[in-house]
Amino acid sequence: MIDSDKKSAASGKKNRAYLLWGGIADSLSDILASPSIVLPFLYLSLGAPQFLAGLLLPCVKGARIVAEATMSPYVKLGDRSKKAMILPNLVIALVLAILALSGAALPNGIVMVFFLAVALIVGCCYGVWALGSNHIYGSELEEEERGQIVFTQLALSCVLAIAIVWITRTLMAGETPFERHRVLLWLGVLALLVSCFCMFRLVLTKTADQVSKSANAKEKEAFTKQVAHGWSLALQYAWFRRFLVARVFFLSVELATPFYTIHAATFHLSTPHILSIFVTATSAGRALGAVLWRRIVQKSIRYTIACASIIACFSSLMAIGFDLFGLASNPWVYATTIFFLSFGIGGETEGRYLYLLSMSSASNRPYMVALSDAVAGIGGIIFASVLGIVAQIQSVLIPLTALAALNAIAAYLALSLVEKKSDLS
């Protein structure tokens, strides 16, 4: 009995280590091959039209929502959950490797289709991976451990990303911007393979039957039915209607990064190590935000979202000001806009997630989340399409100006949100 307990404790310790380092590697790949900065920059470096660069991130998010909605009934706990974390990462690694090998040789017409396909595939893989990780983290870790590990993963992955991009900067050599910066794709592939190895070594301590009984698992309703039920709840609860309206404007914070990339590319497409600088700024903003927002959100969720939106607005105004006063040509100066934007995105993302979590009941939450995701997915594609076309036809300064205005509206709407269940109507 004692030996059995010791083995169980040892197995649990190893599992925590594998989950920690596997998550760090996965977060690291998401930074190094970021759909919001790295992929749009590489796309633009091949001379492709600007309007699609802004669509890559919404396509990733939209594909993730669809994958989570359609694959959830099939991703059970146990071996399928492990496979749901390993196989998607292998697919992403393969796609990134193909992009790194063949991207420079693709004609412009094929570049658009190829990058769009990459975004959709990566988004679907993110969705399946999220289902598997939610199952495994929920079954293998206690609630307190989950919070600690996720926070540690975010902080360490950001620190490692900064170190790696500067250690490997001598490898960023080539005749074209794509050839110089595709090393980031290879680093992302390596990180994904490390994550797969950690997940492969993971030994689940609970069987599928045990977890099913403890969770009282049952088949999930169709996503369309969840959205329809969510709509009926929106008609019933005034606070939820207000949140859905605000959610549309929150997209101006979440999906803004590619437009900064488009703007930066007009100055720095040929600047050496420019993506290393931007990855550093993004990682620093995410890491600092992870520390501060976790404290602020405990005091007021709506003030957290409002502050994050104001910071994003400030970032847009900085980018416009740097352009008008000739400072945008300095890569380190421009990187400050990426830093503040990444900082703001962290607060908005965490705030809106916790807001819906705190305001909704357990029975209504899945339907409210489904409708909120559907609104965000459709709104994100429309939002990015319009601003991308404007950037292509006119000037990228116009989308940045629109983002500043939308961020300010998002801050105002965040302050109007109801924060107490007793205020529901």
Rg (C-alpha) for the chain, rounded Å, is 21
Mean pLDDT for 209-221 is 47
Distance CA 425, CA 421 (A): 9
User: Which of 283-302 are b and which e, b meaning 16 or more Cβ less than 10 Å from the residue's Cβ?
Assistant: bbbbbbbbeebeebbeeebb
Query: Regarding predicted confidence, which is higher, 49 or 148?
Result: 49
DSSP string, 328-386: TTSHHHHHHHHHHHHHHHHHHHHHHHHHHHHHS-TTTHHHHHHHHHHHHHHHHHHHHHH
Q: Tokens for 124?
A: 């679907």
Please provide residue 64's backbone torsions phi and psi, each rounded to the nearest 5 degrees: -65, -45
Lowest average pLDDT, out of 143-157, 252-266, 384-398, 403-417, goes to 143-157
Domain 221-425: give its CATH code.
1.20.1250.20
Please give the pLDDT value at position 96.
Answer: 96
Per-range mean pLDDT, top range of 221-225, 313-317, 421-425: 313-317
Sketch the domain layout of the chain as residue ranges: 11-210, 221-425
CATH number for the segment(s) 11-210: 1.20.1250.20
pLDDT at 219 over 50: no
Q: What is the pLDDT of residues 86-120, one digit of tens each?
A: 999 999 999 999 999 998 888 878 999 999 999 99
CA distance linking residue 158 with residue 108, whole number of Å: 33
Spatial separation of the C-alpha atoms in residues 412 and 423, rounded to whole Å: 19
Residue 6 has pLDDT above 60, yes or no: no
pLDDT surpasses 70 at 32: yes
What does the alpha-carbon distance between residue 126 and residue 117 come to, in Å, rounded to a whole number? 14
Locate 129 and state its tokens. Answer: 């991976």
CA distance 420 to 425: 11
pLDDT in tens, 360-371: 877 777 777 778
Could you check whether 11-210 and 221-425 share the same CATH topology?
Answer: yes
On the question of pLDDT at 404 being above 90, the answer is: yes
**CA quadruple 108, 109, 110, 111: dihedral positive or negative?**
positive
pLDDT of amino acid 73: 66
Query: Cα separation of 29 and 144, whole Å?
Result: 25
Least confident of 182-191, 209-218, 264-273: 209-218
Whole-prediction pTM: 0.85
- The CB density around residue 77, as the number of other CB atoms within 10 Å, is 25
Q: Is the pLDDT of residue 193 over 90?
A: yes
| Contact in structure between 338 and 279 (CB atoms under 8 Å) | no
- Residue 374 phi/psi, 5° resolution? -65, -45
Work out the pLDDT band at 180, boundaries 50, 70, 90. Answer: confident
Residue scoring higher pLDDT (110 or 144)? 110
